[in-house]
Structures are given as C-alpha cells and as structure tokens.
Chain A
Amino acid sequence: MRGVTSTGPGTAAPDAVRAGRAPGAARAVRAAVATWPRRVAWGVVVVAVAGVALAGGFDRAASASGPPPSVAAGEPVATGAFDLTVTAWTLTDAWDPEGLEDVGADAWLAVAVHALGTDRETRALDAAAVTLPEPLPGGLEVVGDARADRPAAVVLARDGHGYPQLQPGLGERVLLLWPVRGDVADPLAAPDLTVSLPLHVYRDLTVGGGRYWAETGAVVRVRVPAGPVPAVLDPSATVEDPWAALDAEGGA
C-alpha cells in the first residue's frame, strides 16, 4: 500500500487520525517538548527565569522606587574621591563684577562645600561635584557657559585661590560659583536650595588600562539653607591679616 503523502484540504483523512486529533493548543505543547533538545531548551529558559527572579532581577529598580536619598546640610557625603559637606549657599555681586558683566549676569550663586580628599593623591574637585536644581528657586537662571552641573569657577574659601588642588586628608572649604540672572535683592531671604551630589566609584578603564573615578549615576540630595556671603567673596569684609598678628606678637 502506498503511504499517504498529503492531508491537505480536499483530502479525506482516515477516521483513526480524525478520532485521535487533539485540540490545537495541546498539539503545540506536545510539539514543543517532542524532542530532547527542545526539552533541554525549555529547561534552560525556566532555570534562567527562576534564577533571575531569585536574584531579585525583577524587583523594582532603586532609582525608580522613589527619590534619591537626602541628607541634611552639614552632614558629610562620601561621593568617591572626596567626602563633601555642603553647608550654605548665597548670592553676591561683590566678587568679580567684570565676570558678571561679561556674561550679563546679576550675581554669583555660591555654594559652600567642605571637601575632604579620601584618595591617595592630590586632586582637584570634580567640576560636576555639585549640581544645582532646575529650575532654580526665585526665578533665578544660570547664564553664560556655566550649567547646572558645571560651575563657572571654584575658589578656596581660605584665600580665594582659583581651581584649588586639594591634598588627601586635608579638608578645605571651597566655593562653587555660578553666574545667575534674576531677583537677587535680599540673599538671606532666599529659600533653601536642594543640590545634588553625584556619587563616583573607582573602576577599571575599559580601554587603555588604568583606573578612574566614574560617576555611578546615583546622587544624594542636600537641602541647603541660605547663608552670609563668605569673606573671600566680599571685598568690604575685614579679613584677618596674619602679618599683623605676628607683628603684634613680635612687638609684645
């Protein structure tokens, strides 16, 4: 007897075949596990999904589950190469008025940060160490080449030295400055400013060898109160003269 080579439309199927025909879904399942390679493949898929689930891979990501962690002003935050403590912010037009004119700004927005180098070598504070909120309170607007995460200048609060190189283990107060436009009439009446501190991790460079401090994408928020203008930004302030103290000591 010749074998049946087609069961297409118009071909009469034997009764035995018709009686044993399973529903479509059941047939698909049976086909899916009909051979050992298919069973192994399904086993791999099941184990992989179960493994991901057990490892927490289907949990809601931390960054999506809520706002970034916050600390109070004055509390240190370990950001990577530096422990940063944001203490206050202020507005002033007394420092570098030519710089303000050049970019058409009304004042400098200064954020005061205590930076303690925890790395093993001298480093400058990362340009993106502090990020301003957007938009700024009170309708203020960053102008010029500065951006919310890139201040126009960084100075040492001790003596106004620009772009200071900070020594490991030697904490210094630094001021990050952004030129801003807007209502700067009464700096001390300004509301709190919530800044972000990006966190870094020391890791291998993908190409070329070596290691570097890379941003993790995570940030810590700090709600910073307005404070007085630091003496180094205020030419009218009385700055203690170390020569005078030494002269007085020598004269005595």
Chain B
Amino acid sequence: MTREHPAGAAAAGAPAAGAPDAGRRRPATAVTVLLVVVAVLVGAAVARVDAWWPVLTATTTHGEAGEVVTAGPVRVRVDGVRTGSVLADGGEMLTTGGVWVGVDLALSGTVDDAVPAVLELRDARGRDYAASTRAGNLLASVPHAADVPEGGTVLFELPAEALAGDLVLRVLTEVHDADVDRPQAVAEIALGSARPPAADVVLEPAEDALVPGGWDG
C-alpha cells in the first residue's frame, strides 16, 4: 500500500519534498550494502563449514598375523591364510567363479561379550570383500566372551586377480558402509600375499572351538 502525499506537499515543489527523502535514503542504502556484505560472508562461511567441522574417522589398530590386535570391544589374532577353488562347507561343496580364501583366526571380546560387525578382506586395489554369506561363517556372526578366544575359519570369495597383491583383514566394530566414514574401532591385520589355489583344491574350514589356554595359550 502506498501513501499519497498531501496536495500541499506536491504543490510545495520538488526541493522542499526531496530534502527529507534524500536524508532517509542514505541510511537505507548503507543498510542494504551491509546486509549484502553479511549475506556474502555467511554464504562463504556455509560453503566452508564442512571443511572446518571436525571429521570423525575410524580409530584403526594395525597388526600382523600372529599378533593379538585389539579394536575397541573386539580382540583378534590371525593364525593363517588358506585358499581353495572349491569350499567344503557344512556338507556342501560350493564352487566359485573366483577363489575361496579362508582366514584361520581367533576372536574374543575385550570387556564384555562382543561380535564383530564386519570382517572383510581388502585387496591391493582397495576393494573390500565381506565375509561370504554363501558360507556358514558362524564365527563371524556370534558373540564372543571377553578374553575367551574362539578359533575357526572365516571364509571369503574373491576374484582370482585380487590375489596378485597383498591382502589385509579388516575387523569392523560398527555396521559397515563404505559410503559413510563412521567413527568406530577397526583392526587391520596385514596378511601378505595369498597363493592362488590349483584347480579342484578343496578348502576345508577349521571347526569353531575355544582356544586352549586363552590368549596366553
């Protein structure tokens, strides 16, 4: 809605009416410029806020085969790596278009019952292969008591070319999602290179069993 000037003001001529208007415009222009500057500064800050924000990444404990490696609620020790072209799992023979890799290891909790969220192998190209859902892999999915290690074989299915470089076993303690970097405890155990199996070599996983003598045994 616009306000009409009184007839008297129009009749009084431009100079008389313009002087007070000009006085009001100056602060309005200054406020506009100030708001524009503030908007630009806020926009610049918002564009950079992701870089300023602290990034919560995983806390990774590194180790090698034979060492007991602790990652938050889970302890793990790798005892060996075997490969096969066929897997004998629970009375079934499972074929694959790649190779079966069995990692003999022992797992326990640290202060309470614990189950690793994900066990995966990372190849030299940075690709992660989760423990196969085709195999039973019970060891990887049941809780383990604190410092009562249980041993067995965790089974993975990899393309043959993934054995060209070194492999790393990754034990994750939260739900894995490569698309989101989550703050969690991770154990990374260097396995070195695994020898590709000859044709028809059957990989037979070890029976899951408590480790005699515990971690000190």
Binding site for B on A (CB under 8 A): 5, 120-122, 156, 158-159, 161, 164-165, 167-172, 205, 208-212, 241-243, 245-246, 249
Contact = CB atoms under 8 A, between A and B. Distances in A.
B197 interface: no
B129 A120 contact: no
A158 B157 CA distance: 14
Nearest to A161: B134
A170 B95 contact: no
Interface in B121-179: 126-130, 132-134, 157-159, 161-162, 176-179
Contact of B179 (A122, A170, A210, A242): A210
The 5 A-B pairs at the shortest CB distance, nearest first, are namely A210-B180, A122-B130, A242-B93, A169-B159, A170-B159
A165 B130 contact: yes
A170 B97 contact: yes
Interface in B156-214: 157-159, 161-162, 176-181, 200, 202
B180 A209 contact: yes
A242 B98 CA distance: 16
B124 to A, nearest CB: 12
Chain B interface, >50% SS class: mixed
Interface of B: 10-11, 86, 93-98, 120, 126-130, 132-134, 157-159, 161-162, 176-181, 200, 202
Contacts of B162: 169
Contacts of B178: 120-121
Contact of A170 (B86, B94, B98, B126): B98
Nearest to A2: B11
B129 to A, nearest CB: 5
Given A246-B200, A249-B200, A171 B179 contact: no
A165 B157 CA distance: 10
B128 A121 contact: yes
A245 B93 CA distance: 11
A5 B10 contact: yes
A222 B98 CA distance: 28
29 contacts: A120-B126, A121-B120, A121-B127, A121-B130, A122-B129, A158-B95, A159-B94, A159-B95, A164-B134, A167-B130, A167-B132, A168-B128, A169-B161, A170-B96, A170-B97, A170-B157, A171-B97, A205-B179, A209-B180, A210-B177, A210-B180, A210-B181, A211-B180, A241-B93, A242-B86, A242-B93, A243-B93, A246-B86, A246-B202
Question: Which of A156, A164, A209, A211 is most buried by chain B, counting CB atoms within 10 A of its CB?
Answer: A209
B199 to A, nearest CB: 10
B179 A167 contact: no
